[in-house]
Chains A and B, each alone.
Chain A
Amino acid sequence: MAEQQTPGTSSRVTYDYVTRTIARTLGGPSRGYFVLLGAAVALLLVGIITLLYLLRYGLGLAGYSHPVYWAVFITCFVFWVGIAHSGTLISAILFLFRSGWRTAVYRTAEAMTVFAVMTAGLFPLIHIGRQWYFYWLIPYPNERGLWPNFKSPLIWDEFAIGTYFTVSTVFLIMGLIPDVAAVRDLATGWRKKLYTITSLGWTGTNEQWRHYSKGYLYLAALATPLVLSVHSVVSWDFAMAIVPGWHATIFAPYFVAGAIYSGCAMVITLLTPIRKLFGLEELITVHHYENLAKLCLLTGSIVGYAYVCEYFIAWFSGNPHERAAFWYRAFGPYWWATWTMIICNAFLPLLLWVKKIRTNITALFVISIFVNIGMWFERYVIIVVSLAGEPYEPWANAVYNPTWADWGIMAGSFGWFFMWFLLFVKNFPAVSISEVKEVLAPPKRGQVRSR
């Protein structure tokens, strides 16, 4: 296969080629696209039906059993928030680092962020049981003169997730404006109307670029500490409690690394079918995959180190409860979940040290799926197993098992996420048109083509 190593080395990749290739992805959907969309909607229907049952019969349908009252829903919440993180890493942090390779993949990653946060936000609402009272979370003036407790990590979480969703959405929309304008100038029919409105009158004048470029830089600079803070705050939902296995200072960096790790894996999982489906092989190359794999390797190693640290500190602290909690994790009734997490997250990514594997897209796709599974189990182990094995309340021990309601909602969340994602990539440019052009050599006089 004639894969090029960097964008722009192929003589065919000119400004015009970039615009037309990306605009073509918005054309009539293929059968493969409808099959994927149909599968996503079917999964979403499973989730909706399960939710209707939960609304009718209550949370008892899920597998909650004392003392495990945070279970699969909260696991899914943390999983999806984590998935969101690499999108902002690629779009904001690598933007500040001026990494050229991010341009081809960042739009997909950023869309993934927005839809993953949208998915994550559903879980606390489902988890609270009386979903129609969800607005009690928000500080609003009410007839009881009551305000939320700002010392509670759950309120921090609400502010963090709310801010994250808002900022990542506006960041995605800002990035889209010049690209939508480029597509507008090629489109006809209803799409022309849609893009004329959504491009907000963009024409690429020097005044527009002047304010836009500066504003985009500041947005990236604001999003960078935000992405690091959001998963730290999510980790404090646990770390601020006294449950052994939760109460650890390492949680914030550990969660942030894990989040970016799972997110990068998800970007690989999502890019692979899109690249094939839309024929973007010349824009998203092995070079981009390799860089994503290196990010996975880096963050995966941090996660592996954090696992070692957790167990070491549990032993080194001399605290019998802490020791018992970690023994229970590795050798208790949930040993299979713990070892799935350790093998998928800490050992499997070591394969990425091998360049042959790192540059093989099929291998990366398979590894990325295992990383996703491993990261889901990481959250399951931290949340469920720590609660189930609370050894300081021996009378309260219980083994929790998820029921069909837990799995139904989880399946629905995947359907919800993929449905939005697929609708997005068919209706808006899934690869940034203007930023891919930025890493190409500009057309100059005396040259036949743009390189």
Chain B
Amino acid sequence: MSRAIRLPLPKSMRELFDAPPTPGVLGVFSHLDAILDAIKKLRAAGHTDFTVYSPIPRHEIEDALGQPVSPVRMFTLIGGIAGCSIGAWLSLWMSGDWPLVVGGKPILSIPPYVVIMFEMTILFGALTTILGILLNSLFAARRLGTIQYDPRFTNDKFGIFVPAGSDKAAGVETLLRGAGADEVRRG
């Protein structure tokens, strides 16, 4: 008889990948202008931490939400600078460590090393950008908890999830219906 051994994830990791459910109200919308209307009304009513689902990125939604610029750009910048420095270090240090004298030319010569520095800038910049997207999305997911989702949101529907306890949920439901939601669900 073998016994299954389950290694428990540390609590913080478990929360990262399997965050506890957040109670709230989910509205499903068919039209872009309806969801923009709903965002405006929610913000006017003082809601700040709601989530908007959209099958495509739309600038109107970004503008209506008034979000700050994504911090991913700092990842790209730092990655690019780090890559350039690593490229410089690689070529300069390695050339000095094993001097290859060719045609009496200087052992450390910058112009050919610019190619290495350039390629490493791009490589590290791209990889840290990916890291930035993943980490920032993960942090956001962790902050929001497990929230309601509808598979139509990747197809042709827009959605808004408003975290709300049982005391506020009824008000949010009325607000979303008033803005033109097709469906409103509580969960």
- Using a CB–CB cutoff of 8 Å, the interface residues on chain A facing chain B are 14-16, 19, 139, 145-151, 155-156, 159-160, 162-163, 166-167, 170-171, 174, 178, 181-182, 184-186, 200-215, 218-219, 222-223, 225-226, 229, 233, 434-435, 437-438, 442-445
Contact = CB atoms under 8 A, between A and B. Distances in A.
Given A19-B155, A185-B154, A218-B129, A145 B54 contact: no
13 contacts: A150-B90, A151-B105, A151-B109, A159-B119, A166-B127, A174-B130, A202-B154, A205-B53, A206-B51, A206-B52, A209-B57, A222-B80, A223-B126
Interface in B125-141: 125-127, 129-130, 132-134, 136-137, 140-141
Report whether over half of chain B's contact residues are helix, strand or loop; otherwise say mixed: helix
A430 B70 CA distance: 29
B103 to A, nearest CB: 10
A214 B130 CA distance: 11
Contact of A208 (B112, B137, B155): B137
A136 to B, nearest CB: 14
Given A206-B65, A213-B57, A442-B56, 4 more contacts: A147-B98, A150-B90, A151-B109, A208-B140
Contacts of B168: none
B94 to A, nearest CB: 4
A338 B39 CA distance: 64
Nearest to B29: A443
B100 A185 contact: no
Nearest to A161: B119
B81 interface: no
Contacts, number: 190
Contacts of B54: 204, 206, 209
A444 B58 CA distance: 13
Interface residues of B, number: 64
A16 B155 contact: yes
Nearest to A181: B154
Contacts of B125: 218, 222
B104 to A, nearest CB: 13
B51 A207 contact: yes
B123 to A, nearest CB: 4
A321 B33 CA distance: 70
A166 B155 CA distance: 30
Interface string B151-172: 1111110000000000000000
Given A150-B91, A201-B141, A145 B33 contact: no
B64 to A, nearest CB: 10
A437 B54 CA distance: 11
A215 B149 contact: no
B114 to A, nearest CB: 10
A222 B58 CA distance: 23
Contacts of B154: 19, 178, 181-182, 184-185, 202-204
